[in-house]
Amino acid sequence: MDHLIGGKFKLARKIGSGSFGELYLGVNVQTGEDVAVKLEPVKTKHPQLHYESKLYMLLQGGTGIPRLRWFGLEANYNVMVIDLLGPSLEDLFNYCNRKLSLKTVLMLADQLISRVEYMHSRGFLHRDIKPDNFLMGLGRKANQVYIIDYGLAKKYRDLQTHKHIPYRENKNLTGTARYASVNTHLGIEQSRRDDVESIGYVLLYFLRGSLPWQGLKTGTKKQKYDRITEKKVSTPIEVLCKSFPSEFVSYFHYCRSLRFEDKPDYSYLKRIFRDLFVREGFQFDYIFDWTLLKYPQITGGSKGRAEKIFGTDLVESKGFPEDTFRQRDRRLLRMSICQSMCIMIQIKDIVPLDTAALQEEL
């Protein structure tokens, strides 16, 4: 495809592919800005790019939602142009030797819950919560978590009438088995409670390094799903969260206590982690584990060392939200982290690569 897409976007090079088609690095020829371009053949068996673009349009303006730059038909392709984002949380987890500190996990938890809360407020479930579908931003947004991949998202409520979808059973598993809620494994129609439960599994995955139902050896995919279900259902929450703060047990007990149509108390879920953050004496300084690996001179809470690295005083804060920092300090930290990310990870790892209709990571 040699001509400009949408009259102003030029394809640079292919950076990924998946069930949806192909992904390219692109550039806005008017501004020089890099973008991500998804191409889906119009004759694909299960087209979803048009649906996903509608979700992007509906969610536009929300914090941590990539901007939709353009969508349309070019040659024999459906084409969607969105923001180019930074590494996924799975990329960063791997970079940090597959274990994240409590401080980093708590700084992420607040944003993950907020992203799902926003999607729910717009009437949609994500239904595929996993580390690969949360990406860090670039440049001045390098500390902001973005939620991506809406191919499996589902409308659960009419925004005008507020009518909720009906309770159903005997549903096939939709999403990624590793992080799916217990009710999803049991074939129950997903609702808001399932997205928040899945976030809990993501957080524990980061803390533990793995989940007990990973790596189960079976013959068929159905047998794998059955084994994962059995292991997940039979593992007490207290055992799953053993050696970690009791707030994680409280989180899961709350999520599993919700009824099908219940609206989760997102503020409560964020508050229990914020209170833990304060009690642990952590500083909300944007110094994630991957920052420390790139800049080993910095240690947690070491203001003096950070000044030498970033050339500015870091405002000390024991709580949330982000506005506890001066804007200049936040900008410098974000730019520094962005620069480290660009060095660490190849461009093909920086963008979302897959939107399969049904995925399983084992």
Res 286: pLDDT: 85
Clarify whether 128 is annotated catalytic: yes
Quote the CA–CA distance of 168 and 187 in Å, as a whole number.
8
State yes or no: cis peptide before 321, omega within 30 of 0.
Answer: yes
> What is the average per-residue pLDDT within 100-118?
98
d(CA 102, CA 228): 26
Tell me what pLDDT residue 303 has. 44
- Taking residues 292-305, report their average pLDDT: 62
The three-state secondary structure class of 70 is: strand
Q: What is the model's pLDDT at position 27? A: 97
Least confident of 3-12, 73-82, 250-259, 351-360: 351-360
Question: Which pLDDT score, from 0 to 100, does residue 315 have?
Answer: 32
Could you tell me the pLDDT band of residue 322, with boundaries at 50, 70 and 90?
A: very low
Predicted local confidence at residue 1, as pLDDT:
63
Give me the DSSP letters along 266-294.
Answer: HHHHHHHHHHHHHHTT---SS--HHHHHH
Tell me the three state secondary structure of residue 152: coil
Q: Which domains does the chain have, with CATH numbers?
A: 13-27+34-83 (3.30.200.20), 87-280 (1.10.510.10)
Residue 79 has pLDDT above 70, yes or no: yes
Weakest mean pLDDT among 136-150, 237-251, 266-280: 136-150
Assess contact for 272 and 251: CB atoms under 8 A. yes
CA 264 to chain centre: 19
- The span from the CA of 88 to the CA of 278, in Å, is 26
Contact 154, 127 (CB under 8 A): yes
Confidence of residue 19 (pLDDT cuts 50, 70, 90): low
Average pLDDT taken over every residue of the chain: 85
136: Cα within 13 Å, side-chain hemisphere? 30
* Window from 42-46, 48-52, 225-229, 252-256 with minimum mean pLDDT: 42-46
Write phi, then psi, for 136 (nearest 5 degrees): -80, 155
Q: What is the pLDDT of residue 21?
A: 78
pLDDT of 298 above 70: no
- 38 marked as binding residue: yes
Average pLDDT of span 332-337: 42
Confidence of residue 361 (pLDDT cuts 50, 70, 90): very low
Q: What integer is the mean pLDDT of 312-327?
A: 40
Helices (H) and strands (E) in the chain, counts: 12, 9
ω into 166 cis (within 30 of 0): no
Q: In this predicted structure, what is the pLDDT of residue 221?
A: 85
Examine the pLDDT at 54 and tell me if it is beyond 90: yes
Share of the chain above pLDDT 90, in %: 69
Cβ neighbours of residue 231 closer than 8 Å, sequence gap 6 or more:
212, 213, 216
* Confidence tier at 110 by pLDDT (50, 70, 90): very high
Question: Is the pLDDT at 321 greater than 60, yes or no?
Answer: no
Question: What pLDDT score does 300 carry?
Answer: 52
Report the alpha-carbon distance of residue 255 to residue 148 in Å, rounded: 23
Higher pLDDT, 44 or 16: 44
Contacts of 296 (CB under 8 A, 6+ apart): none
Single out the catalytic residue among 110, 128, 285, 349. Answer: 128
C-alpha 44/C-alpha 61 separation (Å) is 30
- Cβ atoms of residues 143 and 137 within 8 Å: yes
Residue 312 confidence (pLDDT): 33
Mean pLDDT to the nearest integer, 173-198? 97
Predicted confidence at residue 324, as pLDDT, reads 38
